[in-house]
A and B are shown apart, each in its own frame.
Chain A
Amino acid sequence: MPGALWWLLLLLPIGSALLITAVLRPYRVASAAVSVFSAGACFMLAVWGVASGAAAPEPVAWLRASDWVVMVAMMLDPLAEVMLLVVTGVGFVIHVFSLGYMSDDPGRSRFFGGLSLFMFSMTGIVVSGNLVMTFIFWELVGVSSYLLIGFWFERPSAAAAANKAFIVNRIGDFGFLLGILAVWGTLGDLGFGPLRAKIEAGALDTAPWLPVFLMALGLFCGAVGKSAQVPLHVWLPDAMEGPTPVSALIHAATMVAAGVYFLCRVFFLIEMSVPALDVIAWTGGATALVAALIAVRQDDIKRVLAYSTVSQLGYMVMAVGLAAPAAAMFHLCTHAFFKALLFLAAGSVIHALHHQQDIWKMGGLRTAMPVTFWTFAAGALALAGCPGLSGFFSKEAILEAAHETASPLLWLGLLTAFLTAFYMSRLAMVAFFGEGRERRAREAKESPAVMVVPLVVLAVLSVVGGGLGIYGVLRGEAAAADAEGHGWLVPALSFLVFAAGVGTGAWLYRDRERDPLRLGALRDKLYFDEVYGATVVAANGRLAQFWDWFDHFVISSLFVRGTGLVAGGVGNACRFLQGVGASGYAFLFAAGAALLLLWAAVR
């Protein structure tokens, strides 16, 4: 494939988004067709390009002032290629699924326009060759996410969730931007290639630890926001207000994983600071555990999956912190398969139940929706770490990294794995087994083929995804040196926690009408939102109130009107001297100017 064709990866989706917004909005079928075609074509292009090993195209200057240039440049190494295939592949499958899921929504054109904008932005992050370009597309995925979370904007909860997602991400991007500036200020470059070369040549070897630590931490801030790490994870569960295909594509498989991808992209820089790696590892570990705990006691099928996503993202971030970026990326890929699958299967259930999302109103769907059930089961088992399925291998790679560094995070990871198996088993038991608890559940029917086929495709990937050689590609030379395999300890422990988790869940939730566990703190999401409401949000409100008061009463009233009163007095005196009207104004004008000049001259 000629290298210039790579540009189509960006041009097709943005063209589709602009075309739909400007022209095709009234034509719902045409909008959907254009968007799905663009997603499919991008996937084909990505496969063709990766298979033929096409070189990256010539960079183009986007913004230039004197000697400062921001390039639109592509970097296509194995890391980008793997991510590109995942993003375009899963993206295409979800586009097809959306054809069925959104078929009766009046805003379908707007939906597909948003999806195309998202594909453009996400592809941009993946192929980006420098920090500013990453930041640009980073903001753009943020806005596509904002638009799609708020897709049903007439619902106050959806509008609020969209704002929350955007603002929380902006907080992370604040640090991200400063990190980029710090890198540029100290290393004088923005491109990943030149930066890497400079660091390998020893540019940071003599640097004190603090600036390097802050630099790495700044870049990490971006990932904390986008990949929903504690304490900025609060936006992701709320983002489930968006249509379910959006949850699958953006808020599970791809965009939220962009933070992890970016950390791997700049790993050469982050690893220069050991304290930063520690912070990253423990942030990830804490996120994994906290989110898994909360997921145990959620009743909305999408919320369970959302907290599970947060937890798995924590796993990946932890892997980066443990200096195992290849393991993180491996888990990112398998997670993209099985979590997209789980969300789409959930979407299939929600569609069949006319937008019922409470798992305690479901039940018995195993027989009513067999394909959905079996594919969901495949995804759930992969997520829980069933031996032989994709999730087992990738999770084991991360735990192995923790084991090798003798980090206590191994035990934290195992505990999370147990909880994961437990809550997925709970979800499956309550929603799919037993008898239907509501009429809608008893009358549910299997979804149409356009929705079921994507489920099957993703199910196959979830099952075999561990054996596709992704890990080997990602590890490159390290794989050959390390081909021996590891001891039996970590796989054995993984299997034990998997079996224990699934078993406990199945035993506890078989034929239940209500949740036997109380765990109010977990049900209330460990009060993160309440704490933020009482601190950050309240402080922001107080500051806004104070400065508004300050502006009105101190500056405007005292300072300006006070001056005005004095000036008015002087003016009255002048009127007294000079008579009214234009001559008075002219006099003041001239006298003021002269006085000021005199003042300056005398000094």
Chain B
Amino acid sequence: MSVSPLLVIIGAPLLGVLALLFRVPGRLVALGSTGLMCVGALWAAACMPAAGGMQYRQGFDWLEAGGIRVTMGLGVDGFSLPFVILTCVVALAAVLATPRNMPRAAEFYACLLLIAAGAAGSFLATDLVFLYIFHELALVPTFLGIGIWGDGPRRVFVTFQTVVYLMAGSMVLLAGILGLLWALRAASGVAVVSTDLVALRDLAAAHAPGMAAQRWVFGFLLIGFGTLVGLFPFHTWAPRAYAVAPAPIAMLHAGVLKKFGIYGLIRVGLAVLPSGADAWREWLLVLLLGNILVIGWAAVQQKQLNDMLGYSSVMHMGYLFLGVAAGTNLGLTGVALLSVGHGLSIAGLFAVSGMVLERSGTLAMGQLGGIASRLPTLGFAFSVLGLASIGLPGLANFAGEISILFGSWGAHGDLSWGPMPALSWGVVAAAFGLILSAVYMLRATKAVFFGPGGSVEVEAGPIPMAWRASVFILIGCLLVVGMAPAGLSMAASSGLAEWLGGVAR
């Protein structure tokens, strides 16, 4: 098997974990591995042909049993590329943002590397079973990270709740995957179904499962994948988990791993079960409005900085689901862009809140204040990242949001002078949500960073260089993608067009 960038991206963190077993200094290993991941991502991006579907494909047959053939396969196309780049960058940032005095550092870095490897694997896997397995691989160290290094008295309970919740979601998803294979087998009559994604897609195109099967299976996929992303009302784990998780874990989970659900829904659900997706569109619309409006308003009410960030993260998932509901090439391209933007910005925001907690011992917005005068770096970083997350042009999130709104406006309906199609009402509500997001983000910025000092003492020593590097890498990527989004958007758009073929308009 030749060395491809994809092997570097997945292999580097796994080798790093191996090295940690031999007591090599943890931080060095983690920095080296995640640095290599970024090199691999750059290599993959630089050498990608403009079109032509899955690139760098490699793999071998792994298992054939019970009428199912599983292939261990890797590949990347224009649609997964943004997610892969996001994974590598946020992994590096999370390592850099880890405090040097982290207790049980080697174990902690091992957790981070495993999450990174699992997330990268789930975006690179070309096989449905491995897509699932890689995600599970990333979930376990996430639970450990929250449970062992988490903060606050509710740590154990929150970890328990998160495990139960995400495992339940994963199980619904597994049921959906099994149902999918079963339905395809029933529809096509082939003896052995390959779980290779390309084969599955082509099989579904040739022998589409019946409407009832599509509807059921897509429902399972939607709720399974949706729970992992925090689709309303299956979101309640998210704000609580992020309130407790140590900053680097929250960065990786909220920034990267959560995007797996949305990626899988598009990669698998929309491609294989287009009629099922059509059948669920109105329901999805209702649920995602729950994300945008209900959670948006709930975010306004939060008193803790991390709670607010958690709610805002759940709220923004509504915009991603809007793109999925539209299912147009433009809307889905926006999903890829907004996933990158949201991932980078929420990771940076959690890094800042982690530093605020370290310096002041609290995240209660009522007690904080004036941090920008004591620690200008924190004020600057939070302002830029907060503005990115509420969709300021020039930073990546805006390009994603505007594509999603345009891609959903008038999708699946006629806009010529008649009553507005359902999705357009979704766009109206989503645009209204932009006001809400400005309200909660700017209020929090003002409460924590502006004004005179708060009631708690803030330790004003210099901010570590590594932490600065972490946040400025994230801001730099937000700026690059935000100012020149065409490269990434064209890659995602052509990848989606090739993958979904005639499915998306």
- Residues of A near any B CB (own CB < 8 A): 61-66, 68, 70, 132, 135-137, 139-140, 143, 147, 150, 153-156, 159-160, 162-163, 166-167, 170-171, 173-174, 177-178, 181, 184-186, 207-208, 211, 540-541, 543-548, 550-551, 555-556, 559-560, 564, 567, 589, 592-593, 596-597, 600-601, 603
Q: Within residues 155 to 185 of chain B, which ones have a CB less than 8 A from any CB in chain A?
A: 164-165, 171-172, 174-175, 178-179, 182
Q: A117 — nearest CB in chain B belongs to which residue?
A: B394
Query: With A and B bound together, what is the CA distance between A315 and B167 in angstroms?
Result: 62
**Contacting pair B330 A177 (CB below 8 A):** no
Q: Counting CB contacts under 8 A, is B435 at the interface?
A: yes
Q: Counting CB contacts under 8 A, is B393 at the interface?
A: yes
Query: With A and B bound together, what is the CA distance between A526 and B46 in angstroms?
Result: 61
Query: A156-B452, A167-B438, A548-B298 in contact; A181/B409 too (CB < 8 A)?
Result: yes
Q: Counting CB contacts under 8 A, is B294 at the interface?
A: yes
**Contacting pair A132 B402 (CB below 8 A):** yes
- Across the interface, A62 reaches (CB within 8 A) one of B175, B302, B486, namely B486
Query: With A and B bound together, what is the CA distance between A63 and B406 in angstroms?
Result: 12
Query: With A and B bound together, what is the CA distance between A44 and B442 in angstroms?
Result: 37
Query: With A and B bound together, what is the CA distance between A150 and B450 in angstroms?
Result: 9
- Across the interface, A65 reaches (CB within 8 A) one of B178, B212, B489, namely B489
Most chain A beta-carbon neighbours within 10 Å: one of B182, B402, B424, B443 = B402
What are 25 A-B contacts defined by CB distance under 8 Å? A62-B486, A63-B486, A63-B489, A64-B486, A65-B330, A66-B493, A136-B393, A136-B398, A140-B392, A153-B450, A154-B370, A167-B435, A174-B432, A177-B431, A184-B409, A185-B415, A547-B298, A547-B301, A548-B301, A551-B294, A593-B178, A596-B172, A596-B220, A597-B175, A597-B182
**Contacting pair B485 A62 (CB below 8 A):** yes
Query: A159-B450, A166-B442 in contact; A556/B236 too (CB < 8 A)?
Result: yes
Closest 5 CB pairs of A and B: A548-B301, A159-B450, A596-B175, A544-B300, A65-B333
Query: A544-B301, A548-B297 in contact; A167/B409 too (CB < 8 A)?
Result: no
**Contacting pair A555 B236 (CB below 8 A):** yes
**Contacting pair B416 A545 (CB below 8 A):** no
| Further contacts, 5 of them, CB under 8 A, given A154-B450, A177-B431 | A159-B446, A163-B442, A167-B435, A178-B431, A544-B300
Q: A207 — nearest CB in chain B belongs to which residue?
A: B417
**Contacting pair A208 B417 (CB below 8 A):** yes
Q: Counting CB contacts under 8 A, is B262 at the interface?
A: no
B391: A residues at CB distance < 8 A: 139
Most chain A beta-carbon neighbours within 10 Å: one of B295, B387, B402, B450 = B450
**Contacting pair B171 A181 (CB below 8 A):** no
Query: With A and B bound together, what is the CA distance between A544 and B236 in angstroms?
Result: 16
**Contacting pair B171 A139 (CB below 8 A):** no
Q: Counting CB contacts under 8 A, is B451 at the interface?
A: yes
**Contacting pair A163 B443 (CB below 8 A):** yes
Q: B171 — nearest CB in chain A belongs to which residue?
A: A592
Q: A176 — nearest CB in chain B belongs to which residue?
A: B431
Query: With A and B bound together, what is the CA distance between A120 and B294 in angstroms?
Result: 37
Query: With A and B bound together, what is the CA distance between A246 and B293 in angstroms?
Result: 35
B171: A residues at CB distance < 8 A: 589, 592-593
**Contacting pair A174 B329 (CB below 8 A):** no
A547: B residues at CB distance < 8 A: 293-295, 297-298, 301
**Contacting pair B435 A63 (CB below 8 A):** no
**Contacting pair B233 A559 (CB below 8 A):** yes
Query: With A and B bound together, what is the CA distance between A136 and B439 in angstroms?
Result: 20
Query: With A and B bound together, what is the CA distance between A167 and B493 in angstroms?
Result: 33
B187-227: CB near A (< 8 Å → 1, else 0) gives 00000000000000000000000001100110010000000
**Contacting pair B182 A185 (CB below 8 A):** no
Q: Counting CB contacts under 8 A, is B90 at the interface?
A: no
- Across the interface, A185 reaches (CB within 8 A) one of B172, B302, B410, namely B410
A543: B residues at CB distance < 8 A: 297
Q: How far is the CB of B412 from chain A (nearest CB, A)?
A: 13
Q: A585 — nearest CB in chain B belongs to which residue?
A: B167
**Contacting pair B175 A592 (CB below 8 A):** yes
Q: B370 — nearest CB in chain A belongs to which residue?
A: A154
- Across the interface, B393 reaches (CB within 8 A) one of A140, A156, A159, A186, namely A140
- Across the interface, B402 reaches (CB within 8 A) one of A63, A178, A545, namely A63
A551: B residues at CB distance < 8 A: 236, 294-295, 298
Q: How far is the CB of A268 from chain B (nearest CB, A)?
A: 20
Query: With A and B bound together, what is the CA distance between A163 and B25 in angstroms?
Result: 46
**Contacting pair A186 B297 (CB below 8 A):** no
Q: Within residues 482 to 499 of chain B, which ones have a CB less than 8 A from any CB in chain A?
A: 484-486, 489-490, 492-493, 497
Query: A136-B393, A174-B435, A596-B175 in contact; A68/B406 too (CB < 8 A)?
Result: yes
B493: A residues at CB distance < 8 A: 64-66
Q: A595 — nearest CB in chain B belongs to which residue?
A: B175
B421-460: CB near A (< 8 Å → 1, else 0) gives 0001001100110110011001100100111100000000
**Contacting pair A154 B175 (CB below 8 A):** no
**Contacting pair B409 A66 (CB below 8 A):** no
**Contacting pair B439 A540 (CB below 8 A):** yes
B178: A residues at CB distance < 8 A: 593, 597
A136: B residues at CB distance < 8 A: 393-394, 398
Q: Counting CB contacts under 8 A, is B403 at the interface?
A: yes
B443: A residues at CB distance < 8 A: 163
Query: With A and B bound together, what is the CA distance between A165 and B122 in angstroms?
Result: 43
B370-406: CB near A (< 8 Å → 1, else 0) gives 1011000001000100010001111000110011011
B182: A residues at CB distance < 8 A: 597, 600-601
Most chain A beta-carbon neighbours within 10 Å: one of B216, B406, B428 = B406
Q: How far is the CB of A182 from chain B (nearest CB, A)?
A: 8
**Contacting pair B431 A174 (CB below 8 A):** yes
**Contacting pair A184 B233 (CB below 8 A):** no
**Contacting pair A555 B442 (CB below 8 A):** no
Q: B295 — nearest CB in chain A belongs to which residue?
A: A551
Query: With A and B bound together, what is the CA distance between A403 and B490 in angstroms?
Result: 54
**Contacting pair A65 B403 (CB below 8 A):** yes
Query: A154-B450, A540-B300 in contact; A186/B416 too (CB < 8 A)?
Result: yes
Query: A170-B435, A597-B182, A603-B216 in contact; A65/B329 too (CB < 8 A)?
Result: yes
A163: B residues at CB distance < 8 A: 442-443, 446
**Contacting pair A184 B406 (CB below 8 A):** yes
Query: With A and B bound together, what is the CA distance between A166 and B383 in angstroms?
Result: 13
